[in-house]
Amino acid sequence: MSSSLAARAPRLRGARALFTGRSGGVSIAEHAGLNLARHVGDDEHAVERNRDLLAAALGTPVVFVDQVHSTDVHVLPRRGEVPVVSADAMVTDRDDVALAIMVADCLPVLLSDPRRGVIAAAHAGRQGLLGGVLQRTVEEMAALGARAEDLEASIGPAICGACYEVPAAMREEAAAVLPETWARTSRGTPSLDLRAGAVAVLEAAGVPRTAIDAEHPCTLEDERFYSYRRHPRTGRFAGVLRRA
């Protein structure tokens, strides 16, 4: 998808996708850039303008959800207006809207079944990933006719295992659920590798490893993206996609 708002534009067959960055928006100060979140203390008019800019660049309305670090997946109604709900993933086979998941260190995960025209966007932070939000997203896509072996996925910019320092007990608790998340920081301290965990979950759900795009920047290291670990008072960027 060609857009000045795209910091990264992954190739997903059956979908037009992007990961926004900080550039291109009207927010100022600690939220400077294309902040898309209403809940972070930014000026509400700036946020609405940023969302309008994104919708204009995509050429379609953009659907957001109220994200609460849950495993809830919202399946959009087949037609009509889409209500704002609390959820951390969205699934649809509609081609008249785009789905947007906001992050600032957590994983934005975009999924597409190009054969059956089903797409999804998921917010996979530590709680959601360990709780099963990606498994539930794949299940809801299957309910609309998608097949895991035909899915393509892009795991966008997020904090990396070399930077996501956590208490040792938290690392052990996470690894007990998802061993692939066990990691060390570049300083040798306990950390979590959420990206490796997400790849493992998607593979276990039947998504071919060759169809998973996991090569994206670390948000703490790359200042093109908002990072909560870098500045707790900051904006949110998004993983966004619509049916091609």
Q: What confidence score (pLDDT) does residue 1 get?
A: 43
Domain count within the chain: 1
Confidence of residue 2 (pLDDT cuts 50, 70, 90): very low
> In this predicted model, what pLDDT tens digit does every residue of 17-64 receive, in sequence order?
999 999 999 999 999 999 999 999 999 999 999 999 999 999 999 999
Q: What φ, ψ does residue 66 adopt, rounded to 5°?
A: -80, 105
Beta-bridge partner residues of 154: 110, 213
Give the residue numbers spanning the domain of 44: 6-157+216-243
Average pLDDT value for residue range 186-210: 98
Q: What confidence score (pLDDT) does residue 3 get?
A: 58
* Residue 164 forms part of a structural domain: no
* Residue 199 forms part of a structural domain: no
Question: With contact defined as beta carbons under 8 Å apart, do 232 and 17 qualify?
Answer: no
* Residue 193 forms part of a structural domain: no
More confident residue, 82 or 93: 93
* Residue 167 forms part of a structural domain: no
CATH of residue 221: 3.60.140.10
* Residue 228 forms part of a structural domain: yes
Give per-residue burial for 162-187: e unless 16+ CB within 10 Å, then b: bbbbbeeeebeebbeebebbbbebee
The two structure tokens encoding residue 21: 């960055």
CA distance 221 to 164: 11
Average pLDDT value for residue range 157-163: 98
* Residue 198 forms part of a structural domain: no
Q: Which of 234, 243, 240 is nearest to 41 (CA)?
A: 234
> Which of the residue ranges 72-86, 185-199, 210-224 would you say has the lowest mean pLDDT?
72-86
Q: Which of 222, 229, 241, 228 is nearest to 37 (CA)?
A: 228
Cβ atoms within 10 Å of 145's Cβ, excluding its own: 12
* Residue 127 forms part of a structural domain: yes
* Cα of 31 vs its chain's centroid, Å: 19
Q: Is the pLDDT of residue 77 over 60?
A: yes
* Residue 28 forms part of a structural domain: yes
How high is the mean pLDDT of the chain? Answer: 95
CA distance 157 to 93: 25
Q: What confidence score (pLDDT) does residue 4 get?
A: 75
> What residues contact 224, with CB distance under 8 A and at least 6 apart?
7, 21, 22, 23, 217
Q: Is the pLDDT of residue 151 over 60?
A: yes
